[in-house]
Structure 1
Amino acid sequence: MAKGIRFHYLHRDSGNYKKFGHRDFSNPNNLTVEEITQRIRQALIDTEFFYPEKVGIPKFLFHRYGDDFSWYEFESVEEIQTHYLHESIEGFIAKLLRDG
């Protein structure tokens, strides 16, 4: 098994209810969790928000209220043991920089 990175995020609706998700990425250059976190924060809106559909993360099936924000919040990253994953964390960060 290879080492990968798990990107944790959440959606907070206008009633402050939270729905959590994660996405797994490969880490071919063995970046540290600290370095990845720093790069991600630099790419986010106000160091914590991103638009999920612009970076390939599907929106949760429903949002509680029609006035909910369409952005999601970055929560954390962690190192995981996983099988080979096609998308790298560096590719994902590039999407955040371009489209976030």
Structure 2
Amino acid sequence: MKHRIIIEYLYRDAANYKLYEEAEIDNPKNLSLQEFEKWFRCQLIDDLYFVPHDFGLIKPQFPDYNPKLDHDWCELILLKEENE
């Protein structure tokens, strides 16, 4: 059985406007949800944030992105599994 891991995450810009995203995240070792979550949580910055591009994900972004104020970090909301 292939373990498809879905990640829900949040981007907050410098003005605290929010964009939510949901996507399938790569699971090349076919880890169970519990194993994957344990591994993924070890990668987090301050136990909550990550850079989506580091995991092959897109960063939600508003059209008026300002690189002097905004950042690349997103907040983990949830990891869940969808079986094929």
TM-score by length of 1: 0.61
Distance 1:63 1:48 in 2: 25
In structure 2, the residue matched to 1:17 is: 17
Runs of 5+ consecutive residues of structure 2 not aligned to the other structure: none
Contact 1:13 1:64 in 2 (8 A): no
Q: Please identify which structure carries the higher helix content.
A: 1
Alpha carbons of structure 1 residues 46 and 53: separation in structure 2 relative to 1, 3 Å: same
Alpha carbons of structure 1 residues 11 and 63: separation in structure 2 relative to 1, 3 Å: farther
Runs of 5+ consecutive residues of structure 1 not aligned to the other structure: 83-100
Distance 1:55 1:38 in 2: 15
Shift of 1:36: 2.2
In structure 2, the residue matched to 1:96 is: none
Shift of 1:74: 1.5
Contact 2:52 2:59 in 1 (8 A): yes
In structure 2, the residue matched to 1:43 is: 43
Structure 1 residue matching 2:4: 3-state secondary structure: strand
Contact 2:52 2:73 in 1 (8 A): yes
The one of 68, 71, 80 equivalent to 2:70 is 68
Distance 1:79 1:16 in 2: 29
Kindly, what percent of the aligned residue pairs are identical? 31
- Residues 22-75 of structure 1 show CA distances to partners (whole Å, capped at 9, x for unaligned) of 2214576451x3332222111111122122223322232436552112211111
In structure 1, the residue matched to 2:83 is: 81
TM-score by length of 2: 0.69
Contact 1:6 1:23 in 2 (8 A): yes
Distance 2:4 2:41 in 1: 19
